[in-house]
Structure 1
Amino acid sequence: MPELKKLTEKELMRLNSEIMDELKARKIIRTRNNPIADYCEWYVAKKFKWNLQISSNSGFDAIDSKNLRVQIKCRTLINGKGTKQLGVIRKLNDDTFDYLIALLFDENTEVIKGYKISKELIRKYSKYNKHQNGHILNLKGNLLTDEKLEDITLLLK
């Protein structure tokens, strides 16, 4: 067993990934998405030197360098495959955030793609889901070719 305190954040996340794989293989868990959401928010805030908000904050996860409210979402793809559907975006039409950062990670928690997505694009490409009481956005199709989408992948690597 490695001494956890001596591992880097990236090494801890890789160890977590291996543990999640084993738990899934044993059918103890069904997904690998936790704690990736928290890691994603931490990672983005650290990369851009933003102010990460408390986890119970509603609507946004960080404050950027221009004092804008940022919602942060991610997905993990295994061998480049899997859904690119982000978590539910709630209260899209309320004034709860200014824009969204979306990341796709590989199974080793390496950034595959990163996007800055305006509320305008979210409204245009997401679909409201009554059951989940929020909007669903997939990182695919026409969204990815929209000239207003900002690819920030290189800034996140």
Structure 2
Amino acid sequence: MTNTLHTKSIPDLLALHADVMEELRTRGVVRSSNNPTGDLAEYIFCKTFGWTQEGNSAKAFDATGSDGTRYQIKGRRIHRRNTSRQLSAIRDFDGFDILAAVLFDDRFCITQAALIPVPLVRDRSTYVKHTNSHRFMLCDEVWDVPGVIDVTERLRAISWD
């Protein structure tokens, strides 16, 4: 299959992007019109573990497990133009029990995923005054910390359809 995207006009590419995002929304994969990384992370974790996804406006957590555990779910897409592993802002450590985090490559394939207890997230986060939030970097050494559960293969094993 050859890539014909380079022959399309910018308006055509933007229209294709809009159509793809709308189809993903119709299928329940994304819930907003924003960058799909966060919504995709929530979808994959909830589908894999059977968690109940919270409403878009839930404060400090995104899903609940059958045992009542509250999960904050974060995703980061890493590609050649941006290799940062900084997750989106964490505003409230008291609102969740476990950080469920996944790294995607530039084509949204899962590269690594982990369940990280909130005390570890708190200890390894940096406070950012101007956003009144905390910054957490999902570095490789996180997977070596006791208490962190590598769930990469479990997430890769699910069917996305």
Stretch deviating more after TM superposition (72-81 or 145-154): 72-81
Q: Match for residue 101 of structure 2?
A: 102
More helix by share: 2
What is the CA–CA distance in structure 1 between the aligned matches of 2:80 and 2:49, rounded to whole Å? 27
Residues 1:65 and 1:79: Cα distance change in structure 2 (over 3 Å) = farther
Determine if contact 2:77/2:105 at 8 Å carries over to the other structure: yes
Structure 2: 5+ residue stretches without partners: 1-15, 28-33, 157-161
In the aligned structure 2, how far is the partner of 1:144 from the partner of 1:81? 21
Does residue 65 (structure 1) correspond to residue 66 (structure 2)? The answer is: yes
1:40 corresponds to 2:41: yes
- The TM-score with structure 2 as length reference comes to 0.71
Deviation at 1:79, TM superposition (A): 4.7
Q: How many residues align?
A: 129
TM-score (norm 1): 0.73
RMSD (Å), alpha carbons: 2.4
- Between the aligned residues of both structures, percent identity stands at 33
Question: Retained in 1: the 8 A contact 2:114–2:143?
Answer: no
Instruction: List per-residue Cα deviations over 1:101-144 (Å, max 9, x = no partner).
Output: 00001122111100101011111111111111111110116434
Could you tell me which runs of 5 or more consecutive residues in structure 1 were left unpaired when the two chains were aligned: 13-32
- Structure 1 residue 52: Cα displacement: 0.6
**1:88 maps to 2:89:** yes
Aligned structure 1 segments of 4 or more residues deviating by more than 4 angstroms? none
Instruction: Work out whether residues 50 and 65 of structure 1, in 8 Å CA contact, stay in contact via their aligned partners in 2.
Output: yes
Which secondary structure state, in structure 2, belongs to the residue aligned with residue 54 of structure 1?
coil
